[in-house]
Amino acid sequence: MKKLVLLLLGCGFFVTAQAYRIEWGRTVTITQPVHEDLYVAGGTVTINAPVYGDLIVAGGTIFLNDTIANDLLLAGGTVHINGYVADDIRCAGGELHVLQNVGGDLVISGGRVEVARNVVINGGLVTGGGDVTFDGTANGNIRSAAGTMRFNGTCLGNFEFRGETLVLNGAVKGQSVIAARQLQFGSTAVLDNNVRYWTKRGQVDFGRNLRNGTAVYDPTLKIQTSSWYFLGRSTVLGLIWYLSTVFIFILLLQYLFRNTFRRAGDTVDESMLKSMGWGLLFFVGVPVLIGVLLITVVGIPVGLILMAGYILLLLLATVITSLVFANWYNHRFAQQWTFWQIVAASMAMFVLFKLVTFTPFFGWLVMIMVASIAIGALVKTIDWRRRHPVAVS
């Protein structure tokens, strides 16, 4: 697999005249300047030197302590961005702290998101998560979907929020659209333009917090969710339909690829950490390969096919993970399960993983880890060596 990845990236080098560097391991520390694009996967990742290309990184704990000259694409558990990023940031994680300026747009989502005071985002901000605190300045628009957002900074563009609770202590220069079950104003909140809004309690008096504009209560902004919500579906019928669809996918995949999933379960039992490493590398490396293919005329058809397959895999990631771990359990504890018992165990695993994702802060991180283990085990299970026909005399 390593040779295949290096070969593909090498092909991309000759096509795009751009170099790549790949690093992975339990602990990865970059102490020398990197003059090409850098791809990193590891348990703990520390960047202590400038990267003059793009940085794509996945890890449990990530520290970015120096300048990134181009884009940053990141997924991690606990993330500290202590260095200036000259272009766009796209990142997701459990706990994310942005402590330095961003030259482009910032797209960020996680259990807890914090943009520190004095941070300037030269582009726009798109953020989502359980708990978002914004103390900086965005020169562009801000869009947020969060459980709770504490807006203490400045937005020079338009502002849009949809979520449970919005606490306003900052200033918005552009127009605002707010759909919040609870809306709270601090003494320093300033809305300098028109506002369309909806709150659970109805109309709100913006008082002196609203300047140079009018506030219009808009019932069409109402957040349409019922009080009973489970596994991403808002009704009992929706839940039944959802689980039925999952059951069909599990049934088909186990029937068509039972041997592959069995071998992947064996691989998890034999080398879990290595499987997770390969899984993280897969999730990071395939988008890179797709990007290389899409910027070449010859590679566009292959890139589009690969992109479709990658998206499908992401949509079925929890189903695939459930099947791999059900087969792992069967192997690990010598259960000798039948086909239908493995299907039933996979359904139970699926529900368990979905419940885990609802755990604040760390649920999604657990899912990234187990999904990486499952996908990595499948990658390791596939025989990437080319088979040559044997001549029979």
**Number of structural domains found in the chain:** 1
- 3-state SS track over the chain: CHHHHHHHHHHHHHHHCCCEEEEEEEEEEECCCECCEEEEEEEEEEECCCECCCEEEEEEEEEECCCECCCEEEEEEEEEECCCECCCEEEEEEEEEECCCECCCEEEEEEEEEECCCCEECCCEEEEEEEEEECCEECCCEEEEEEEEEECCEECCCEEEEEEEEEECCEECCCEEEEEEEEEECCCCEECCCEEEEECCCCCCCHHHECCCCEEECHHHCCCCCCCCECCECCHHHHHHHHHHHHHHHHHHHHHCHHHHHHHHHHHHHCHHHHHHHHHHHHHHHHHHHHHHHCCCCCHHHHHHHHHHHHHHHHCHHHHHHHHHHHHHHHHCCCCCCHHHHHHHHHHHHHHHHHHHCCCCCHHHHHHHHHHHHHHHHHHHCCCCCCCCCCCC
In a domain, 28, yes or no: no
Asked, for residue 164, whether it belongs to a domain, the answer is: no
Could you tell me what percent of the chain has a pLDDT over 70?
85
Which pLDDT does position 359 carry in this prediction? 64
Checking if the pLDDT of 90 tops 50, the result is yes
Residue 4 lies in a domain: no
Provide the pLDDT for residue 385: 54
pLDDT in the model for residue 12: 40
Residue 267 lies in a domain: yes
pLDDT digit string, tens, across residues 365-387: 788 888 889 998 988 887 655 44
Q: Is residue 310 in some structural domain?
A: yes
Q: Would you state the pLDDT for residue 104?
A: 95
**pLDDT tens string 219-241:** 998 876 544 333 333 344 445 65
Predicted confidence band at 351 (pLDDT cuts at 50, 70, 90)? confident
The verdict on residue 253 lying in a domain is yes
Position with higher pLDDT, 139 vs 275? 139
Does residue 199 sit within a domain? no
Confirm if 189 and 172 have CB atoms less than 8 A apart: no
pLDDT tens per residue, range 160-188: 999 889 999 999 999 999 999 899 998 89
| 292 domain-assigned | yes
Q: What's the pLDDT at 293? A: 78
pLDDT at residue 9 above 60? no
> What pLDDT is recorded for position 198?
94
For residue 209, pLDDT beyond 70: yes
- Convert the pLDDT of each residue in 270-309 to its tens digit: 888 888 888 888 888 888 887 777 777 667 777 777 877 7
Reported as a pLDDT band with limits 50, 70 and 90, residue 338 is confident
Expressed as residue numbers, the domain containing 309 is 236-381
pTM of the model: 0.59
